[in-house]
Structure 1
Amino acid sequence: MGRCDTCPYGVISAAFLKIALLTYATKPRGSVIHTLELAEALHRLGHQPCVFALDKTGQGFGRSLLSKVALVPASPCDQGIEALIQQRIGEFVRYFQQHRDRYDIYHAQDCLSANALAQLRDQGQLPHFVRTVHHIEAFQSPYLQDCQEKSIRLPDRCLCVSDYWQKELEQRYGIQPFRVFNGVDWQRFSAPPENVSDLKAELGLTGQPIYLTVGGIEPRKNSLRLLQAFAQVLPHLPQAQLVIAGGATLFDYEDYRADFFAAVAELGIDARSLILPGIIPDAQLPALYHAAAGFVFPSLKEGWGLVVLEAIAAGLPVLTANQTPFTEYLSPQTACLVDPNDTDQIAQGMLNLAQPQTVNAWVTASRSLRDRYRWQDTAQLHLTLYTQLLFPQ
């Protein structure tokens, strides 16, 4: 073994590792993208990662990957969210019981896969496992809360992606998680793709300016306040469009979505102004960023906010919440930071994103993030932590 002078945790292994990375879906959510990019970076460093993903469609991730991928069949379930989670955990468990290929590290990226690995460890199928906590949900269901508790307390090593969640885990659970960080594929998102015009035509993106957010309609994304703020913007910028892309989640947020669409009708926002394309194929995501004029993400709670870094890599000015974890890597010089609970502030921030001089200053300053958040550095830090688990001193 050698030593990594730039890694805060010390020793890393020179030999390659076989690493199983588990994620709950193939659709592009934050923790899913984190899993894929970590796997790609580990592969480039000479290791052998394999991404195990629950897949309802059999279509995979919609992008070519260097690392191995194993799609875990996931069947429909119409018996409610608790039954769905229980079924998904069971699908992971049964898959690994049937496929006996061994890995040096088993790493869960979510609550669901962590519960599956805990069961497999108890059965003697694997010696230990790691879990990354991206954020903690406020579940009302005792069953879901118990799943979350187990997924945090039972891993042999717990990681998290921000200072905020590191402190939360210490205070709530009395554990000391290891702090890792996210990155962004700067090259992939910075170059304008050839299909920008085609995508704009396909989605009806003719507005000026075009505001983009990624993550779908749900409470923690603050979708309703964003919509209300956009309604305040329209009298000043009547040609503006708001694009809310995404929406792949285990939870349907039916009541919240009903309130959202009731507000659309009440505010008189028409179909030309509000664009809801649903899940955007991962291959088209860079083009979507380049089709927009500004990225608006006043989220109430995030693990990190990978889409913010992707937007910055694409050269967009960003509006986001003036709170952690965003303020761990952003400042008033690099982004428009607003109180996510204040609709008026969000609206004024959106108007500021239409001011060229202000926008240019944010975009220029945010370029400094390029050298600070790279997936290769993230992967190297993970390797250090993996090796410490495998070879404790």
Structure 2
Amino acid sequence: MSSHSKPLRIALLTYSTKLRGSVVHTLELAEALHAIGQDVCVYALDKDGTGFDRPLSCPHTLITAQPAPADIEALIQQRIQEFVEHFSQSSETYDCYHAQDCIGANALSLLRQRQRLTHVVRTVHHIEAYNSPYLQACQERSIRDPDLCLCVSTRWQTELQQQYQIQAPRVINGVDTLRFSAEQDGSEPLLKQRLGIKNGLFYLTVGGIEPRKNAIALLQAFVQILADHPQAQLMIAGGATLFDYQEYRQEFFALVEQTGVRIGESLLLPGVIPDAELPALYRLADAFVFPSVKEGWGLVVLEAIASGIPVITANQPPFTEFLTAQQALLVDPRSPTAIAQAMRSVLAPRLAASLVQHSQTILPHYSWNASAQMHLVHYHKLLTSNNQPLTNA
């Protein structure tokens, strides 16, 4: 329990039930707040009726997301409206309404204009550069309208200050070291067989084929690895997103065809991995390769570290905020040759063991309990500054 005796009522909004970074952050934060006695509920748009791919101990409400048009602007408008309609009809009230993304924040902004709620919080995980004026305006509102913006990295703290003159407190991400660990649970052999992972060299990345994940540069690097290690495999797992990145994906698969990389043999594209299988998948990898060029913080990097495998990632913030050259191989993400060189270097057993050993010292500094406590401090500061009475818990 926090130092404040009365629990807060907190609504946490997320745009999806599919477990990408901000969605995982939402669920882990909600569970941690619930564990320390707060009255928290997760609200999530559910487009296929299957809910979350993990059990939750905290209350949660799934809002049906109807089939949406292919046009991305119309899709975003519809998703915002689905949140608005739900809360307009709900009798539930909360002390804080906290959105983790642009969709939820825009919905809360509209609801506050209609005097349906107060105390809007937004976590800005990263800022996108949209070509669409509509999407750019949505992002602007989602950052400027909330009473409080939070960030998970110094990089985006600085961006909010420079671009928006907003002082956003920094909160941390966490990792569940009981769930993600180097200790095998016996599921690994069957998972390996089902996913087509061979006994040779196996590289893993999580995040899908999209521009900010830098999938094309990673593929170019992997082609160089295949020249020396023809039996090597690269798995690009994940990929559930609102945006289809069709042009980028076409370029990616054109390169696959051009280079003769065999999908299902050398290149494994399993899509979204069931949440229960993700810890074992990390443990199967010889190295985690994540040359992302734009990341809020990089939860998957911490999960890989907790799983006891060496990490290769971009030599830029936010990764350099919590990783040193002794804890990960930090590379120029724009250079496929540099990525490939790191993928070769990490094969040296002594270097791999050293990276794993040094990276373990990071883990105690990132817990979801600590993150929840930090959030509570900022929630209470917001409520106190507005001198607003709390709802009845």
Same fold (TM over 0.5): yes
Residues 108-161 of structure 1, C-alpha deviations (whole Å, 9 max, x = no match)? 000110000001111111012100000000100000000000000000001011
Q: Aligned AA for 2:272?
A: I
CA positional deviation for 1:174: 0.8
Which residue is equivalent to 1:147? Answer: 138
Which residue is equivalent to 2:321? Answer: 328
The gaps in structure 2 that reach 5 residues or longer are: 388-393
Q: Distance in 1 between matches of 2:91 and 2:233?
A: 51
Q: Distance in 1 between matches of 2:273 and 2:10?
A: 29
Are positions 1:50 and 2:51 aligned together? no
Task: From 233, 236, 243, give the equivalent of 1:241.
Answer: 233
Are positions 1:118 and 2:106 aligned together? no
Which residue is equivalent to 2:158? Answer: 167
Q: Distance in 1 between matches of 2:272 and 2:215?
A: 16
Q: Aligned AA for 1:60?
A: G
CA positional deviation for 1:14: 2.4
Which residue is equivalent to 1:9? Answer: none
Alignment of 1:1-393 (within 5 A): 13-190=4-181, 191-271=183-263, 272-392=265-385
Q: Aligned AA for 1:330?
A: L
Which residue is equivalent to 2:391? Answer: none
SS of the residue corresponding to residue 178 of structure 2 reads helix
SS of the residue corresponding to residue 187 of structure 1 reads coil
Q: Aligned AA for 1:208?
A: G
Which residue is equivalent to 2:390? Answer: none
CA contact (8 A) 1:13 1:384 kept: no
CA positional deviation for 1:264: 0.4
Residues 312-345 of structure 1, C-alpha deviations (whole Å, 9 max, x = no match)? 0000100000000000000100000000011100
Q: Distance in 2 between matches of 1:104 and 1:201?
A: 49
CA contact (8 A) 2:180 2:279 kept: yes
CA contact (8 A) 1:207 1:241 kept: no
Q: Distance in 1 between matches of 2:193 and 2:9?
A: 44
CA contact (8 A) 1:207 1:240 kept: no
Identity of aligned residues (%): 58
Q: Aligned AA for 1:217?
A: I
Aligned length in residues: 384
Q: Distance in 1 between matches of 2:220 and 2:199?
A: 18
Larger deviation: 233-242 or 209-218?
Answer: 233-242
Q: Distance in 2 between matches of 1:20 and 1:288?
A: 32
Calculate the TM-score normalised by the size of structure 1: 0.96
Q: Aligned AA for 1:227?
A: L
User: Runs of 4+ in structure 1 displaced over 6 angstroms?
Assistant: none
SS of the residue corresponding to residue 16 of structure 2 reads coil
Larger deviation: 309-318 or 71-80?
Answer: 71-80
Q: Distance in 1 between matches of 2:345 and 2:7?
A: 49
Calculate the TM-score normalised by the size of structure 2: 0.96
SS of the residue corresponding to residue 276 of structure 1 reads strand
Residues 52-106 of structure 1, C-alpha deviations (whole Å, 9 max, x = no match)? 1111111111111111111111011124000000000000000111122111111
SS of the residue corresponding to residue 67 of structure 2 reads coil
Q: 1:357 to 1:308 in 2, by over 3 A?
A: same
Q: Distance in 1 between matches of 2:277 and 2:50?
A: 16
CA contact (8 A) 1:320 1:338 kept: yes
CA positional deviation for 1:207: 4.3
Q: Distance in 2 between matches of 1:15 and 1:353?
A: 50
